[in-house]
Amino acid sequence: MLKMLQEAEKILSPEFRGDARVVMVCTPALTLALYISSFRVEVSLLIMAIACMYAGLRALKAVIIASPFLAFFAASSLLLSDATHAATTTFGLASLVALGSVLAAIPPAELSCALVYFKVPYRFAFLVSLAVRMFRVYIRDLRQAMEAMKLSGERGVAIYAKLLKAMTSIAVLRSIAIAETLYSRGFSGKAECFCRRPSRFDYLVLLFSAIVLVYSLVLVSGMM
């Protein structure tokens, strides 16, 4: 578990070099494509490829970290349907996890600027980026709390109940402290946002995502 949290921290650390606006367009488009194609394997594969193009090994690491959840999902699907359906939906979900790692890698500042570009008020966009930053802080808190509890001799399932209690309090305390800082910095919703110019690679990903979406639509119309 501790190792998993360490890996999750690495995946969530912002190391993104693409255009946040492109990712924010492509991510829902690709998710929609997967949904309307009814989790077709080739669509999942294409999404996985796009995620790897953007996030590289991080995308695959995210899938590995999510593997216990994916295994649980696969087992549940198997109970409710046949093996083929369970395998394709699990693979589809894995591709969405990989796609999520691309979103998670966007630096919060670029995320808020991209939201402002899409006409979201800065006050709201900033709070979204702050929530993303705090999520990373909470993951680190969770790891450190777990380390502290293991050292104090806690073992087994009991540790998770204690962690839940500790993390609830820590999250509340951190939230109050952040709200205090926002107040004392005179947060008024004013900002300067700069979006980087999309590179050729970004345009290529945008085009590729559009093709996947169109392909899914064609599949659906073919089925009809």
Partner 1 sequence: MIDSMIELKNVSYTYPNGRRALDNVSFHAQHGEKVFVAGKTGSGKSTLLRILNGLIPGFYGGKLNGDVRVYGRKPGVKRVFFVSQHPEEQILCDRVIDEITFPLLQRGWSWRDAVSSAEEAAKRCGIEHLLERSTTGLSEGEKQLVVISAAMASDADCIVLDEPFSHLYPDIAGSILKKLLRTDRTVISSEHRLEMAEYFDRTFWLGNSGEMDSRVDSGIEEDLRVDREKVGREESSIVVEAEGLTAGYGEPVVHTSFEIAEGEIYAIVGPNGSGKTTLLKTIAGILKPIEGKIRVRGRVSMAFQYPNYHFSARSVEKEVSPEMLEVFGLTHLSNRHPHTLSGGEAKRVSIAKAFAGDVVLLDEPTAGQDYAFRSRFLRIARKTGKTVVIATHDLKLASMCDGVIELC
Interface residues with partner 1 (CB under 8 A)?
2, 13-14, 107-109, 129-130, 133, 136-137, 141, 144-145, 147-149, 151-153, 161-163, 165-166, 169-170, 172-174, 177-188, 190-192
Listed residue (60, 53, 26, 52) closest to 201, CA to CA: 53
How many whole angstroms separate alpha carbon 37 and alpha carbon 41?
A: 9
- Measured from the CB atom, the residue of 34 and 132 that comes closer to partner 1 is 132
Shortest Cβ 43–partner 1 spacing (Å): 33
Shortest Cβ 155–partner 1 spacing (Å): 13
Shortest Cβ 215–partner 1 spacing (Å): 36
**Residues 33/205, Cβ–Cβ less than 8 Å:** no
Torsion from C-alpha of 154, 164, 169, 15, nearest 10 degrees: 100
- Measured from the CB atom, the residue of 57 and 75 that comes closer to partner 1 is 57
How many whole angstroms separate alpha carbon 2 and alpha carbon 96?
A: 24
- Measured from the CB atom, the residue of 80 and 151 that comes closer to partner 1 is 151
How many whole angstroms separate alpha carbon 113 and alpha carbon 196?
A: 10
- Measured from the CB atom, the residue of 10 and 83 that comes closer to partner 1 is 10
Query: What are the angstrom distances between the C-alpha of 121 and each of 25, 27, 175, 184?
Result: 18, 21, 22, 21
Shortest Cβ 85–partner 1 spacing (Å): 40
- Measured from the CB atom, the residue of 155 and 200 that comes closer to partner 1 is 155
Shortest Cβ 194–partner 1 spacing (Å): 8
